[in-house]
Amino acid sequence: MKRRRLFKNLRREITFMIIPHHSTQPLRIKLSVFLMSFLVLVVSGMGGLTVFIITRHINYFQTREISKNLKSKNEYFGQEIIKVRGLAADLEEMEKEVLLLLKLRPKSPKNVSEYQGQGGGSILEDPLPLTREEFKQNLALLKEEAKGRKENFTTIKTTPLIWPTEGRITSGYGYRINPFSERREFHPAVDIANVSGTPIKAPADGVVFNIEWDRMFGKFLTIRHREGISTRFAHCGKILVKKGERVSRGQTIALMGSTGLSTGSHLHYEIWVKNKRVNPWQYMCLKMTDDGEEKEMELVKQKER
């Protein structure tokens, strides 16, 4: 009964009458309910399909544009990583040279395994040269390398490297004839002579450990640097720092003089390593020159006397 009633209703006809302005005969169009429903479904389907296709094309072009931007950014970051790696390599070479002069073993960064990554979507035309995960992993590797470099540069900053003053060496480390006793004695320092008032500079970052007066050394001070290394400056005319003060490499700490047992204005420069005097010559690798307000470190070739 229900099916018959349904088919009967679908077979029912609907008449559309079109009355033209210049004709007396109206136009009648008869359509069944079934045909009307079918036409409505077809039109709705075509409209939905059209909207879907348009939306799909819009999303495609937007995604392609985003893909281009991402590729451009990845290329930029890739180039930046190459630049940073090049700079890190240059710094590493410089660091090795300085550490070699100091006979120190560089601290290497932790080993980081090679990374691989996958990425990309079904709409993107070309795979990106560097995924976000790969970029993060590369960045982590660079940070690890930078940490190792930082530790090494901290060691370099606190290790005596520069000449403590300008002048000429009048007495080296080792045996010599004492100018007062005229006997052969061991001289545990390097003497650098210049005019009175010549600036004396800290050869590395450190802390002023003591400031004293001695009959032989006159006014002298000691700076403690990294663990186990100290420097001593004797026969000073004037000391410009205080006990406990932190000093940095190149900072003027005193002025040259001739206090104590001395034949003239000079600096008696000692280096102590683990409570033993060592030859300062091996730590006098660099000279600091003043050019107005600029300070420039320049490597100088030296030979032990």
| CATH number of 237's domain | 2.70.70.10
Do residues 231 and 213 touch, judged by C-beta distance below 8 A?
A: no
Whether residue 212 sits in one domain with residue 121: no
Is 85 within a domain? yes
Is 26 within a domain? no
Which one of 71-80, 117-126, 219-228 scores highest in mean pLDDT? 219-228
Q: Looking at residue 242, what is its pLDDT? A: 96
DSSP state at residue 283: G
- Give me the mean pLDDT over the 84-102 stretch: 66
Do residues 147 and 109 touch, judged by C-beta distance below 8 A?
A: yes
Instruction: Write out the residue range of the structural domain in which residue 100 sits.
Output: 47-157
Whether residue 61 sits in one domain with residue 139: yes
> Cβ contacts of residue 38 below 8 Å, gap of 6+?
none
Q: Is 62 helix (H, G, I), strand (E, B) or coil?
A: helix
Q: Is 305 helix (H, G, I), strand (E, B) or coil?
A: coil
Q: Looking at residue 123, what is its pLDDT? A: 38
Is 5 within a domain? no
- Give me the mean pLDDT over the 36-44 stretch: 74
> Cβ contacts of residue 261 below 8 Å, gap of 6+?
180, 215, 216, 217, 218
Whether residue 137 sits in one domain with residue 244: no
Least confident of 83-87, 96-100, 120-124: 120-124
Least confident of 67-71, 120-124, 143-147: 120-124
Domain end among 108, 133, 157: 157
Whether residue 188 sits in one domain with residue 85: no
Domain end among 110, 129, 157: 157
HEC per residue, 141-175: HHHHHHHHHHHHHHHHHCCCCECCCCCEEEECCEE
Least confident of 114-118, 181-185, 212-216, 231-235: 114-118
Sign of CA dihedral 99, 101, 102, 103: positive
Is 119 within a domain? yes
- Phi, psi angles (nearest 5°) of residue 178: -65, 125
Q: Looking at residue 221, what is its pLDDT? A: 97
- Give me the mean pLDDT over the 86-112 stretch: 58
> CA of 72: how far to CAs of 64, 65, 66, in Å?
12, 11, 10
Is pLDDT larger for residue 218 or for residue 104? 218
Whether residue 122 sits in one domain with residue 201: no
- Phi, psi angles (nearest 5°) of residue 222: -125, 135
Whether residue 117 sits in one domain with residue 182: no
- Phi, psi angles (nearest 5°) of residue 191: -100, 130
Do residues 285 and 101 touch, judged by C-beta distance below 8 A?
A: yes
Is 10 within a domain? no
Question: HSE on the CB side for 139, CA within 13 Å?
Answer: 10
Contacts of range 116-120, beta carbons closer than 8 Å, 24 or more positions apart: none
Whether residue 233 sits in one domain with residue 128: no
- Give me the mean pLDDT over the 3-14 stretch: 62
Do residues 13 and 31 touch, judged by C-beta distance below 8 A?
A: yes
Is pLDDT larger for residue 159 or for residue 126? 159
Q: Looking at residue 10, what is its pLDDT? A: 58
Rounded Cα–Cα distance for residues 237 and 197 (Å): 7
Q: Looking at residue 139, what is its pLDDT? A: 64
Does residue 218 carry a pLDDT above 50?
yes
- Give me the mean pLDDT over the 134-150 stretch: 64
Whether residue 246 sits in one domain with residue 184: yes
Burial of 78 (0-12, 13-18, 19+ CB in 10 A): middle
Whether residue 209 sits in one domain with residue 89: no
Domain end among 132, 157, 182: 157
Do residues 15 and 30 touch, judged by C-beta distance below 8 A?
A: yes
- Tokens in use for 273? 């390593």
Q: Looking at residue 145, what is its pLDDT? A: 65
Whether residue 273 sits in one domain with residue 190: yes
Does residue 300 carry a pLDDT above 60?
no
Confidence of residue 114 (pLDDT cuts 50, 70, 90): very low
Does residue 32 carry a pLDDT above 80?
no
- Interval 234-271: pLDDT, tens: 999 999 999 999 999 989 999 999 999 998 999 999 99
Is 27 within a domain? no
Does residue 303 carry a pLDDT above 60?
no
Does residue 115 carry a pLDDT above 50?
no
Is 183 within a domain? yes
Is 15 within a domain? no
Whether residue 83 sits in one domain with residue 61: yes
| Residue for token pair 């560097």 | 130
Helix (H) / strand (E) element for 49: namely: helix 33-102
pTM over 0.75: no
Q: Letter for the amino acid at 287?
A: K
Number of domains in the chain: 2
Beta strand extents in the chain (DSSP E only): 13-18, 27-32, 168-171, 174-177, 184-187, 190-193, 199-201, 206-214, 218-224, 229-239, 246-247, 252-256, 266-273, 276-278, 286-291, 294-299
Rounded Cα–Cα distance for residues 202 and 229 (Å): 13
Whether residue 294 sits in one domain with residue 265: yes
